[in-house]
Chain A
Amino acid sequence: MTNEAVAGKAAPSRLDVRSLAKSYGAGAKAKVIIEDLTFTVETGEVVCIVGPSGVGKTTLLKCLAGLQPASSGTAAIDGRVIDGPPPEMALVFQDYNRSLMPWLTVRKNLMLPLRHLRLPAAETRERCNDALAAVGLEHAEHQYPWQLSGGMQQRVAIARALAYRPEILVMDEPFASVDAQTRFDLEDLCLKIRKDFNMTVLVVTHDIDEAVYLSDRVVVLGSKPARVLTTIDVDLPSPRDQITTRSLPEFAALRTDVLSLIKRPA
């Protein structure tokens, strides 16, 4: 994948969440999961949503991905309200070993979402090649996901999203199930593809360091029910580096800010 390949593309999409709320049940027994969330992911930004576990992050993502309707409020992409899975969005799930099709080889996993786009065969091939190259898995294209390590499987899931050429890439705790070293590699991969593929990226995580490292902005959620505690701009220098960025005093200050917000009893 080269920058020229996407140079012709306009700016990637913008995600607008306005007073989004989600509850299950009705009346006195209603269980409120999300109460009045408002935030924006500007075009081309990487935004991380952090919050304690059980805060309703997965429910939020299901609403954003159009898998569940919001109880009130809206989420919109470039002004169009999301009422079903939006065509410009791709989602990377936490459980790589449950989100890939075990009966398809790596390349066929990438091709499955492209079928209904009815692209010329050459373009399908090129998109898969680019995506595999971006995640460094050209050599594994004929293997099955279950033959690969956890980190490699998550790369396949990311490659599948890339081949789909989304304008918004949403990731749900994408690196929570891999070891620390692999997590660093995947974080850097995430920053690289965001630039190469010109996407807006939204990552949900419970890892504060990861959120600060990846983000242009961090949205901090408080729990029961979920609501935005604050939004923190991260103006760490770019490109980021696992060693130098993480040892900056600004990095430490930011992570302390976020941590103290999350730790504080709601």
Chain B
Amino acid sequence: MRKTLYVLLGVGTPVVLLAAWFVASAGSTNTFFPPLSYILERFQELWLFAHFSSDILVSLLNLVIGFALAAVIGVGLGFVLAMLPKVGGYVDPVIHFFRSIPPVALVPIFVSLIGFGIEMRIASITLAAVFPTLIATVDGLRGVDSTLKDVSAVYRLSTGEKIIRVFLPAAGPHIASGLQVSLQTAFVVMIASEMLGPSQGIGAMTLLAQQSFMIADMWSGIILLGVIGFIANMLFELGRRRLLAWYIGSRRLARAQ
């Protein structure tokens, strides 16, 4: 009963908000807030599917490659730093310094270094998105229970088994939280990197629409970005629930007791 109510709230709220926007903007003559019906019309003309491969796919590919690289580098480097506590201690301040730079601020450096191409975008996305995963991995590994380490040693697990079958799953919940922040960072930098230079992509299209005063097109770009962000997060959450079912289940049980 209660659950049904929550599902209705979850699905219903966005529907009601969209409907309210639709109705309220129906006869709008305000240049900056065109009717939603017109925005949706432009959405269909622009994105379904005229600019699909030329812009949407390009953006998504940058996002996926940048995020995947950040995930691999973040987890891998995190393991190295956590396993070498001395090195980790020295490198910590540097990591936190770079982490503190707003990710978007890195884009201009890459533009000067590598230009406006796809390499620049992927490099910016990767560098910005690597830090949340890196820091979460190091934290997660440093927090692995000493008893689990003793168990692994007593039962003479190989180094590979310790890494893959003990440390990685034990730090899994931390790493997943880091990856989720990395995904959001990658998304922001993906758009920001497209707003510089003569470029393709959803961010570029949206900025171009704004600069050429095609406000409905701009709105349609914003809506598309919202939808993509939402879907990306949802896919991530589905994967997390599958991989960390043990963690979610044990936490739920602990709370119930």
Contact = CB atoms under 8 A, between A and B. Distances in A.
B158 A93 contact: no
Given A65-B154, A116-B161, A103 B172 contact: yes
Given A67-B150, A103-B169, A113 B247 contact: no
Interface of A: 62, 65-67, 85, 87, 89-91, 93, 95, 98-99, 101-104, 112-113, 115-116, 144, 146-147, 164
Contacts of B172: 103
B151 to A, nearest CB: 5
A99 B148 contact: yes
B148 to A, nearest CB: 7
A112 B155 contact: yes
Interface string B133-175: 0000000000001011011011111100100011001101000
B97 interface: no
A99 B147 contact: yes
A89 B154 contact: yes
A87 B156 CA distance: 7
Name the 9 nearest CB pairs between A and B, nearest first: A113-B155, A98-B147, A146-B250, A103-B246, A103-B169, A91-B154, A99-B147, A85-B154, A98-B145
A89 B246 CA distance: 29
Contacts of B157: 112-113, 115-116
A6 B113 CA distance: 70
A62 B150 CA distance: 9
B249 A85 contact: no
B169 A144 contact: no
**How big is chain B's contact interface, by range?**
20 to 34
B235 interface: no
Given A85-B153, A95-B147, A115 B247 contact: no
A29 to B, nearest CB: 23
A146 B249 contact: yes
Interface of chain B, main secondary structure: helix
Given A66-B153, A112-B161, A147-B253, 20 more contacts: A67-B154, A85-B153, A85-B156, A90-B154, A91-B151, A93-B150, A99-B147, A99-B150, A99-B151, A101-B148, A101-B166, A102-B250, A103-B169, A103-B246, A112-B155, A112-B165, A113-B155, A113-B156, A144-B246, A146-B246
Nearest to A113: B155
B116 to A, nearest CB: 44
30 contacts: A65-B153, A66-B153, A67-B153, A67-B154, A85-B154, A85-B155, A87-B156, A90-B155, A91-B154, A93-B151, A99-B147, A99-B148, A99-B151, A101-B148, A102-B247, A102-B250, A103-B169, A103-B170, A103-B246, A112-B155, A112-B165, A113-B157, A115-B157, A116-B157, A116-B161, A144-B246, A144-B249, A144-B250, A146-B250, A147-B253
A101 B153 contact: no
A219 B256 CA distance: 43
Nearest to A94: B147
Nearest to B253: A146
Contacts of A95: 147
B255 to A, nearest CB: 12
B156 A101 contact: no
Contact of B156 (A62, A102, A116, A144): A116
A146 B247 CA distance: 10
A85 B151 CA distance: 10
Nearest to B250: A146
Contacts of B147: 93, 95, 98-99
B256 to A, nearest CB: 12
B224 to A, nearest CB: 38
Contacts of A90: 154-155
Contacts of A147: 249, 253
Nearest to B166: A101
Nearest to A65: B154
B165 to A, nearest CB: 6
A95 B150 CA distance: 12
A116 B247 CA distance: 26
A220 B169 CA distance: 40
A113 to B, nearest CB: 4
A67 B200 CA distance: 58
Contacts of A89: 154
A156 to B, nearest CB: 12
B201 to A, nearest CB: 39
A68 B151 CA distance: 13
A141 to B, nearest CB: 15
